[in-house]
Amino acid sequence: MKFKPSIKPYSGAAGGWGSLEATTRYVLDSKKTLSNLRNLLRVNKGRGFDCPGCAWGDDNHSTFSFCENGAKAVSWEATRKAVEPEFFHQHSVTTLRQQSDYFLEYQGRLTQPMRYNSVVDRYQPITWNEAFSLIASHINGLADPNQLELYTSGRASNESSYLYQLFGRMLGTNNFPDCSNMCHEASGVGLKQSIGVGKGTIHLEDFEKADAIFVFGQNPGTNHPRMLHSLRHAADRGAKIVSFNTLRERGLERFADPQNPIDMLTSKSGQISCAYFQPNLGGDMAAVRGMVKALLENHRLNIASDKPGLFDDAFIAEHCAGLDEYLAAVDATRWEHIVRQSGLSEIQLRQAAAIYQHAGRVICTWAMGITQHKHSVATVREITNLQLLFGQLGKPGAGLCPVRGHSNVQGNRTMGIDEKPPAKFLDNLAKHFNFTPPRVPGHNTVEALEAMLRGEVKVLLALGGNLAAAAPDTERTARALRCCDLTVHISTKLNRSHLITGKEALILPTLGRTELDMQASGSQFITVEDSFSMVHASEGVGKPISDEQRSETAIVAGIAHAVLGDEHLDWLELADDYHLIRDHIEATIPGFTHFNQRCDIPGGFYLGNAAAELRFSTPNGKANFSHAALPEFVIPHMNGQQAPFTLQTLRSHDQYNTTIYGLDDRYRGVYGQRDVLFIHPDDMSALGLNEGELVEIETLWNDGVIRKVSGFKLVSYAIPRGNLAAYYPETNPLVPLSSFGDETHTPTSKSIPVVIRRCEQTDSQRIA
């Protein structure tokens, strides 16, 4: 990069000129400026294509709505740069492995199917038919279908993921590890236990009606920039926005709307949060418990003086179970425990409780700061408890809102990308397609990697994503992938997972969501589901860079056809016309009645959410309060010993997961570099270290394995003492594969027990 690394605290608001400037820089940097702009204009309009950025909902009232990071995602995909066979001829896989993730993706779009030749250590061109035959010969040679893993990343469309899961189940496996296992799994598991449905209960419009919005463990300024519009509008009309975030995040403090000319001309920026609390990593369950303790006290005081209590007694009596046990757990939790674990004072938590108490309608949102801990399910359920006490379900302007990551990760689950599929779903498949689906649960991501390490997996198929870089314990993950006989990646861009191969490996180049998808019956659209359970169509407009690229749906159909033939299903016919796939979806998944017709509804259609209508599909038919005790320690630790620091791994402003667009993190004031470690200035001086010095970070874990990265520059930051933050995926080597969430297997990417020491030099290469 041409920029000199620097640290410069950011003084502006999130959004604003900085955001527009950065957007245009990305658009102009790519060589296809005009069509990029045209693409941008079509994002989220008419049928157009769905923004491949995040899973936030679309506001159909605004005429021109895109965000800086959506613009980056679109122009990154629409580049004219191409990785041709000549590139692979020049570079061996071993030499490519020395390159950074940024370099790999920056080479451009994959254009032709490639097969790894281990003799010359290079990828070489192969035809589609040869690729499909190779896959078929491996899969048909398996002793057991469970020797296959089918990974999915959350950009895959409903149509391609539906075919993919059907293919796996017709083969006889439920091995569907996916990115969601590393992401919002705890939200699904926790919400299902509490309210019977693992999805959020609100509509986008509810942000216009809420009196207060509590944002837990989320950085929308970078990861869901369009959410800032909703927060800003809510704040402008007087709603209280309360943030719980370990770091001071600019987007949660102030926001100038880059699409509002008045804001831009007057440099006006709106305050977002009226209160900002910085809990310890993993401290949110304690924080919410503290709020409830304060609210319960006020509730009882009211009742003692013959005033109405605070809680919604009628709602609780009609819809909930487990109140007494929960209140007993709250009574049994001591303030000392709450304060120590949350890192917030009793006064602060009483303040937060007071804001909650005086708001009629409350939305709670959350993301990775809540879900990537050991006790994440308990934390999601604690947030739900708070909402249930006040009857914040089934009314406008109120509810639960896990803000999803990948643009179609929620849709993937709806389509059956699920290693533990509900029995009813399998029954529907069995009946409609007349086969016997497997009933034994399959592997999630961590279990899949462990099975690979044990030598039990022969073939890995990956529908998108970058498992090698996204999964924890980088070195063990690499070893796991190398244990496979065949690894196959359906991808748009070159990434690390292509370079850590099984004995054999294939790269299958696919069209992106922004591109025209022409099949035998004409141009195809696909569908996706956002965080608000809205399903809508998406149709690409850009001309593909190569005739050899195929759509994900066509590739999955091609693989299924080669492996299974067309005895059960005419796979290739389905790829010719996606309407036929949607007919099968309609016949097997509730909520998709008249699916094809409803794809024409602008803005899409709502799938429905039983809990939002106060119907609870839990075993007792009620919304269930949980009554877990606060864990004694929230950070996984070895032998009862607390580590001096807890590290969270998070995203910079210039990245999309493992895709690194650039080396800046503007709102946090970091430029031209990524190997930085955010630390409280007093922690730095207590260790005799100085700003800008390089350190190594080592995980304290209980298996004797040394997990260490070095060359991280110290940056003093507004973060509570004892807490650290650094970017993912550079720090993935520090997350032990065996450290995961209770009931979820989600790697504990936000609570890694570590020590730090001064060091002299950088790791030039972290992945062997």
Ligand X SMILES: Nc1nc2c(c(=O)[nH]1)N[C@H]1C(S)=C(S)[C@@H](COP(=O)(O)OP(=O)(O)OC[C@H]3O[C@@H](n4cnc5c(=O)[nH]c(N)nc54)[C@H](O)[C@@H]3O)O[C@H]1N2
* Shortest separation between residue 251's beta carbon and Mo ion, angstroms: 18
> Binding to ligand X by residue 183, rule CB under 6 A?
yes
Of the pair 153, 624, the CB lying nearest ligand X is at 153
CB 699 within 8 A of CB 281: no
User: Residue 363: what are its φ and ψ, rounded to 5°?
Assistant: -110, 135
* Shortest separation between residue 295's beta carbon and ligand X, angstroms: 19
* Shortest separation between residue 256's beta carbon and ligand X, angstroms: 18
* Shortest separation between residue 767's beta carbon and ligand X, angstroms: 14
Choices 121-129, 537-545, 705-713, 728-736 (CB under 6 A): range interacting with ligand X: 728-736
* Shortest separation between residue 370's beta carbon and Mo ion, angstroms: 13
Of the pair 216, 595, the CB lying nearest Mo ion is at 216
Of the pair 243, 269, the CB lying nearest ligand X is at 243
> Binding to ligand X by residue 556, rule CB under 6 A?
no
> Binding to ligand X by residue 165, rule CB under 6 A?
no
Choices 336-344, 487-495, 613-621, 683-691 (CB under 6 A): range interacting with ligand X: 487-495
Of the pair 552, 664, the CB lying nearest ligand X is at 552
**Site mask for ligand X (CB under 6 A), range 525-544, x = bound:** --------------------
Burial 102-134 (b: 16+ CB within 10 A, else e): bebbbbbbbbbbbbbeeeeebbebbebeebbeb
How far apart, in Å, are the Cα atoms of 317 and each of 308, 331, 356? 15, 20, 21
> Binding to ligand X by residue 19, rule CB under 6 A?
no
What would the two tokens of residue 220 be? 């929308």
Task: Report the C-alpha dihedral over residues 174, 178, 182, 183, rounded to 10 degrees.
Answer: -110
**Which of 51, 61, 64, 58 has the alpha carbon at shortest distance from 20?**
64
Of the pair 623, 719, the CB lying nearest ligand X is at 719
Choices 165-173, 361-369, 517-525, 710-718 (CB under 6 A): range interacting with ligand X: 361-369
Using DSSP's 3-state secondary structure scheme, residue 503 falls into coil
Length of the chain: 768
Cβ neighbours around 275 below 10 Å, total: 16
Choices 57-65, 178-186, 433-441, 526-534 (CB under 6 A): range interacting with ligand X: 178-186
The strand pair at 504-509 and 486-491 is best described as: parallel
> Binding to ligand X by residue 402, rule CB under 6 A?
no
* Shortest separation between residue 414's beta carbon and Mo ion, angstroms: 16
**Which of 471, 468, 469 has the alpha carbon at shortest distance from 501?**
468
**Site mask for Mo ion (CB under 5 A), range 128-167, x = bound:** ----------------------------------------
Selected from 513, 550, 666, 745, the binder of ligand X by CB under 6 A is 513
Q: Which positions from 234 through 263 interact with ligand X, judged by CB under 6 A?
A: 244-247, 249
CB 743 within 8 A of CB 371: no
If binding means CB under 5 A, how many residues of this protein chain bind Mo ion? Answer: 2
Q: Which does 658 bind (CB under 5 to 8 A by kind): ligand X, Mo ion, none?
A: ligand X
Using DSSP's 3-state secondary structure scheme, residue 742 falls into coil
Cβ neighbours around 764 below 10 Å, total: 7
**Site mask for ligand X (CB under 6 A), range 84-113, x = bound:** ---------------------x--------
Give me the DSSP letters along 198-227: SS----GGGGGT-SEEEEES--HHHH-HHH
Using DSSP's 3-state secondary structure scheme, residue 499 falls into coil
Q: Is 82 exposed, middle or buried (0-12, 13-18, 19+ CB in 10 A)?
A: middle
Q: Which positions from 627 through 666 interact with ligand X, judged by CB under 6 A?
A: 648-651, 655-659
> Binding to Mo ion by residue 344, rule CB under 5 A?
no
* Shortest separation between residue 538's beta carbon and ligand X, angstroms: 11
Q: Which positions from 681 through 720 interact with ligand X, judged by CB under 6 A?
A: none
> Binding to Mo ion by residue 15, rule CB under 5 A?
no
Selected from 495, 533, 538, 626, the binder of ligand X by CB under 6 A is 495
DSSP 280: P
CB 367 within 8 A of CB 402: yes
CA 692/CA 730 separation, integer angstroms: 18
* Shortest separation between residue 323's beta carbon and ligand X, angstroms: 26
**Site mask for Mo ion (CB under 5 A), range 170-189, x = bound:** -------------x------
How far apart, in Å, are the Cα atoms of 201 and each of 235, 370, 533, 609? 21, 17, 9, 6
> Binding to ligand X by residue 545, rule CB under 6 A?
no
Selected from 735, 754, 756, 767, the binder of ligand X by CB under 6 A is 735
> Binding to Mo ion by residue 190, rule CB under 5 A?
no
Q: Which does 68 bind (CB under 5 to 8 A by kind): ligand X, Mo ion, none?
A: none
CA 326/CA 496 separation, integer angstroms: 46
CA 212/CA 578 separation, integer angstroms: 42
Choices 151-159, 298-306, 533-541, 698-706 (CB under 6 A): range interacting with ligand X: 151-159
**Which of 120, 148, 31 has the alpha carbon at shortest distance from 78?**
31
For every residue of 335-380, which 3-state class applies, written as one string? HHHHHHHHCCCHHHHHHHHHHHHCCCCEEEEECHHHHCCCCHHHHH
Selected from 490, 534, 612, 643, the binder of ligand X by CB under 6 A is 490
Of the pair 183, 535, the CB lying nearest ligand X is at 183
What would the two tokens of residue 42 be? 């079509």
**Which of 423, 510, 471 has the alpha carbon at shortest distance from 177?**
471
SS3 of the chain: helix, strand, coil, percent, to 5: 40, 20, 45
Helix axes 68-77, 33-42, angle to 10 degrees: 130
What is the H or E stretch that residue 663 is in? none
**Site mask for ligand X (CB under 6 A), range 46-65, x = bound:** -------xx-----------
Q: Which does 710 bind (CB under 5 to 8 A by kind): Mo ion, ligand X, none?
A: none
* Shortest separation between residue 493's beta carbon and ligand X, angstroms: 4
**Site mask for Mo ion (CB under 5 A), range 377-406, x = bound:** ----------------------------x-
The contact set with ligand X (CB under 6 A) reads 53-54, 69, 105, 153-155, 179, 182-183, 216-219, 222-224, 244-247, 249, 279, 281-282, 284, 367-369, 372, 405-406, 463-467, 470, 490-493, 495, 510, 512-513, 552, 648-651, 655-659, 728, 732, 735, 749-750
- For binding to Mo ion (CB under 5 A), which residues are involved? 183, 405
